[in-house]
A and B are shown apart, each in its own frame.
Chain A
């Protein structure tokens, strides 16, 4: 039973990823990504990583996906809705990806890692302890990073800034043309 659910989840995870990779429609790609992310959260739960799984769902499904979908809405014209995700040169990409995956799996089996059966148990308390003891500096840096991110994103989308950039870009283009 456990394995049946695991195989289902694994198929969803890989299938969602493949849908993202292959779909011509950006919306379908985003939905594939969503499927994959939720499945990966389930895989976390299989490995007793409850807190990480919850974080995955909250942050990705609740935050990043919504952002992605909004960006898609804001940035694409509605006319070629299902063909706005063009690809190029599929074959060399396929080649290099297959080589990479083969190498990775080969490395996995040739490395002869010793594994132990995992133990199930709550993880939140330990993660909290780690964050506030061993990884306190990282924790603080991450908070700084988030502040910088907020400010940066806000500044970047200020109307007048964008307009100025457009104006100066137009000027430089004119100059280039004049030179030619």
Chain B
């Protein structure tokens, strides 16, 4: 064990300390906090994340130097639960998988904290904001670092809580507060499945494996006796949990509403880190998922559906953050598509690049929103590129990255996923890989289209807002543009660590992760060698470029086209614009259903339970009347008799209690002498 492992505890402890400091300031002074408190808060919060980041970096450097077999650092803090069969420790583990996540959380997180200092500068609750943000970082680190499912679940719920708190951060606005609740409730559904999943897993471990541990590192080597059908249910439950947290069909509906929170929050929580928790969870438990091809198939189908579905909604959204939110849902679908192939590195790779470019896009959007004085409707923007050049250039880089333009990070990760999807055979449906590939490719085109639409509407053309509003548009302060630039650089070069061998890279990421992930061997050569891979890359480049070109034609050359198309297929447009009425559908089924059930129960209550209660009441009343008579005559009589008896005799004894000390002594002595004499006689 290396020396550096004993400092792992600092990584989560630093944000926790930040949370405590900020929380205490916010709790003690609240709205009355002065500029000094604010300054302390804005310095402490990024600083603690920086400390975590530096510690992680130190561990990372040590890890790179170590041989492949010695890259797992763990620190056991204390024995948490030790009961009967289950044994869970608070054990923090940094291995090649978790360190990538920790680097993203602390690294990207640090820049988002920095950005927040500028973005939230004028908000009076900034200290509370930073307290939540630090708490979120802490919970997310626990989620990632935890070495067993229970500890992971602590983090899992912790990030859910922080997500709720931050979505509803401006709770004075009723809609925002409702959005927070919606996120929390929808997550509840997923978490419920997650809980069932790990309870079933515990039982399975107990029943089939007989190993008294639930730590990932130990389980990995001992799993094997559990039957596949049981494992399939377990992993499906886990996946449902992941659909809640990572916004997949059918539980994705909370994520677009989550944009009610401050924009840096959307960047950190709802794009870069928390929503990828599901992907991480699957990678962490890859040894379970790889054994269940059925679950992987389900994941692939749902993921492809989500990716395509969310992308189509993204086309018609007009709110800059909503577009990005649907884009996030769609990209998360991509990640799950990668996980579903069984080659888990692809998903993790896309997770990483997505954290860079989506974080960048959200921060850019925040910068745009701040620049145009909290205007979020892109139809009221336009031509902003000259006013806010830094934001524009970084946003452009982000757009190029997400659209899959060659040379930027998004291209590599997306292409990797598509390629693996195509070549990984499916045991249940032989045609499935091809269908999924086509859907993925189409999604890539749509992604490119709506991202360039966003870019063109926002930064090009004529300004469409109010007169004079353009004059007030101004570039964001330095502290906000630096994170943009850093993330832009990462978005460009972040992809090279996972560059496929076909392009002359060596796919470092794959070799880095393969010791800790149980997965299918990534198929690099498949029949025709690299030729097929080049061909597919060509396809996806073509699709991306055509998406961009279409957006250029529609929104720069002929702005009238979208309108005419929209009116020609107004039904479809309405359908998509209203997000396929999924929210309304859920409202009509689950919410109305619950309310209806409530009414039914109410009727049942009134008609049957109340009647029964009244009946019981009548009987009790009759009985109590009889009892009351008995009480008055017999019991009271007895009590009064005892009282009278006591009173009579106490009046006799009263005279003995004279209150004179001397007389008491007489009693003592008299009884002493009497006792002595009687004892002598006997």
Contact = CB atoms under 8 A, between A and B. Distances in A.
Do chains A and B make direct contact within the complex (CB under 8 angstroms)? yes
Interface of A: 88, 92-93, 96, 99-100, 103, 107
10 contacts: A92-B666, A93-B662, A96-B666, A96-B670, A99-B673, A100-B673, A103-B673, A103-B676, A103-B677, A107-B676
Interface residues of B, number: 8
A107 B675 CA distance: 14
A37 B677 CA distance: 32
A73 to B, nearest CB: 23
A99 B669 CA distance: 10
Interface of B: 662, 666, 669-670, 672-673, 676-677
B662 A96 contact: no
Contacts of B677: 103
- Ranked 8 nearest A-B pairs via Cβ: A96-B669, A103-B676, A99-B673, A100-B669, A100-B673, A103-B673, A96-B666, A96-B670
B426 to A, nearest CB: 82
Given A96-B673, A100-B673, A103-B676, 12 more contacts: A88-B662, A92-B666, A93-B662, A93-B666, A96-B666, A96-B670, A99-B673, A100-B669, A100-B672, A103-B673, A103-B677, A107-B676
A107 to B, nearest CB: 8
Interface residue SS majority, chain B? helix
A105 to B, nearest CB: 13
Contacts of A96: 666, 669-670, 673
Contacts of A93: 662, 666
A100 B677 CA distance: 11
A99 B677 CA distance: 11
Contacts of A100: 669, 672-673
Nearest to A97: B669
A34 B669 CA distance: 26
A107 B677 CA distance: 11
Nearest to A96: B669
A88 B665 CA distance: 14
Contacts of B672: 100
Nearest to B669: A96
B353 to A, nearest CB: 73
Contacts of B666: 92-93, 96
Nearest to B677: A103
Nearest to B666: A96
Nearest to A89: B662
A132 B650 CA distance: 50
B665 to A, nearest CB: 9
A173 B676 CA distance: 44
Contacts of A103: 673, 676-677
Contacts of B670: 96
Contacts of B669: 96, 100
Nearest to B672: A100
Nearest to A99: B673
A176 to B, nearest CB: 16
A128 to B, nearest CB: 36
Nearest to A107: B676
A72 to B, nearest CB: 18
Nearest to B676: A103
Contacts of B673: 96, 99-100, 103
A107 B672 CA distance: 14
